[in-house]
Each structure stands twice: as C-alpha cells, then as structure tokens.
Structure 1
Amino acid sequence: MCRVPASDHPQWIIDARRAVGDRIRVRRLHLDMTQETLAHAAGVDRSTIQRMEAGSEMKLSHLLHVAHALRVHVTDLLHG
C-alpha cells in the first residue's frame, strides 16, 4: 500500500480532518464524556480518540465505532 506523507496532503484534506475531529470533540463534550469513556464505548484506545480529535488520519472502522458510541450517524461527523 502506498501512503502519502501527511505533509503532502492538500490543505482541504487537512482542514476536513480537523473539522471531523472538532465535531467528535463537540459531540463527546455534549454527552459529558471524557476521551477515556468514549474510547471504552467505541472499543478503541484513548490515544486513538486523541488523534482523531486532533485531526490526524483515522481509519474508517474507528470513525464508525466512534459515531456509534456518540449515537450519531457517521455522516453527521463527516458533514456536520
């Protein structure tokens, strides 16, 4: 598999990932969840939640698990 270094991504991709991370954080806080409780509910590590909220690259499977744990459809996280 060929991976593109993060620095080589166009700005719109970086901005979109940050927006998804922001939506995850806002929803998590709205539900009064810590990163740890969200991670447990989603079945991922807390560091995964940290990276997602920071706008790092994320696996689709992680995003789907997090959306389910936040009780939203994944498109709500992708499109706002």
Structure 2
Amino acid sequence: MPNLPDDDAWLLEEQRAIGDRIRVIRMRQDRTQESVYLAADIARSSYQEIEAGRAEARIGSLLRIARVLGVHVADLLRD
C-alpha cells in the first residue's frame, strides 16, 4: 500500500491546479468568469471559489464548466 500524506496539503494543491487550468482555458478563449458561470448555470460565488482553487468542485459543476469551455472534463483534471 502506498504511503499517503497525513495532511490535506496535496488536496489543496490539486484544487488550485484544477482552478488554474480552468482559468487558463477561459482566458485563452477571451471569456469572462461571468460568461462561463452563467452558461454553466453555476452560482457566481461557487464558480469563483472553484477557479481560485478554494473549493472542492462537484463533478457536475466540473462537467458543466468543461462543456461550456468546449473541453473534456479530463482536461481540467490533468496536466
């Protein structure tokens, strides 16, 4: 069994990385946060927390964001 970290630092790091990927894709498309969260039918505060890496995004939210951005959800989860 692999050794896993005892703290949640790795989780916060992954959340930030996902948020960064969303932001980069959105900015490459010259889109505002507002255009994405409205099209994805996600609350503004929830979207902002996801993009900032401060929230654990639900899979439904990630699927909606990916659809609006025209990418596969896996593109948000991996480098």
TM-score, normalized by length of structure 1?
Answer: 0.84
RMSD of the TM alignment (CA)?
A: 1.4
Q: Percent identity?
A: 47
Runs of 4+ in 1 over 3 A off after TM superposition: none
Count of equivalent residues:
73
Partner of 1:42: 40
5+ residue gaps in structure 2? Answer: 1-5
Partner of 1:3: none
Partner of 1:52: 50
Structure with the higher fraction of residues in helix conformation: 1
Counterpart of 1:52, as a letter, is I
Partner of 1:5: none
Distance 1:38 1:18 in 2: 18
Distance 1:78 1:67 in 2: 10
5+ residue gaps in structure 1? Answer: 1-7
Partner of 1:69: 68
